[in-house]
Amino acid sequence: MGTNGPSLRGELISEALAVAIIITLGDSAAAMITLYDPSPYATAYWGVCIAWGLAVTIAIYVTGAVSGTHANPAVTLALALYRGFPKRKVLPYWLAQIAGGFIGAALVYQMFGPVIDGYNAAHHLTRDGGGAAGVFFTHPGLYITPIHAFWDEVILTGILLLGIFAITEEFNTQAPQANSGALIIGLLVACIGASAGFLEAWALNPARDLGPRLFCWLTGWGPAAFPSPGNYWWVPIAGPLVGGIAGASVYQFLVKPYLPRRAETDAATIH
């Protein structure tokens, strides 16, 4: 961009930083529930959900004024389709977001590495066998196949984008004011996790899964990360991208045309 806005470099740094914040805090919460017995979240799973949600809120407050804090390839794609985000920036944003996920995973590993090794040793697990992998990236829960998980992620990310589009819609008179929108988006993420997180750890975000998965692939988890059991690696990428388009489309075609202020504005223009 020119003098009217931040440079693309600044936007990409902002996107990487946003995802790094989310993963550093969120995967640390995952480490707390996975690695410790008894887990501090053993009977308080909502605490994990709130940690992830507040991580998103903090990331928005830190970086929103620079890049808008997409922090999610599914959000970037939906904004390019419906909100005028420049299509030439989509791929650079995606790469920055994945890089942020990688950096966040590295920071979590720096903090929890000794605990991960101790946990795996105590439970006779290995990294390439998937020991403690749930700290970093997602996998299907009980009775969930990869194909079923794909459709779960379509539905859940659809709800996420439906909510984000509503929260950030200028004609939505029920939307929160700008400065509180970040908190509501964070609570939306937490709500989705509380409602369906055990299905496949509610990825909702290709960068949230792929960045840490790449880090783990390079640091000993190998086949547990790629291709992962059941060749699962593609699900947290494709499911959110499809779901993001679906949720944004629902808002654009089934809600936005009927918003009161938009209808009043259109009527005034006609007369």
Domain 8-270 of CATH type 1.20.1080.10 = yes
Q: Which residues have CB under 8 Å from 207's CB, separation 6+?
A: 19, 71, 72, 73, 94, 97, 98, 100, 101
Rg (CA), the chain: 19
Q: Nearest 5°: phi and psi at 259? A: -65, 135
pTM of this structure: 0.94
Please check whether residue 101 is in contact with residue 212, taking contact to mean a CB–CB distance below 8 angstroms. yes
pLDDT given at position 161 = 98
Count of residues in the chain: 271
Buried b (16+ CB within 10 A) or exposed e, 210-228: bbbbbbbbeeebeebbeeb
Q: Give, for all 271 residues of the chain, the pLDDT tens digit.
A: 344 455 999 999 999 999 999 999 999 999 999 999 999 898 899 999 999 999 999 999 999 999 999 999 999 999 999 999 999 999 999 999 999 999 999 999 999 999 999 999 999 999 999 999 999 999 999 999 999 999 999 999 999 999 999 999 989 999 997 789 999 999 999 999 999 999 999 999 999 999 999 999 999 999 999 999 999 999 999 999 999 999 999 999 999 999 986 555 555 555 4
Dihedral Cα 105, 31, 24, 95, nearest 10 deg: 40
**CA gap 164, 75 in Å, rounded:** 9
Neighbours of 120 (CB within 10 A): 17
H or E element at residue 213: helix 206-218
Please check whether residue 155 is in contact with residue 239, taking contact to mean a CB–CB distance below 8 angstroms. no
> Which has the closest alpha carbon to 90: 232, 214, 217, 206?
206
**CA gap 167, 188 in Å, rounded:** 10
> Could you state, in order of their start, the residue ranges of all structural domains in the chain?
8-270
**CA gap 245, 239 in Å, rounded:** 10
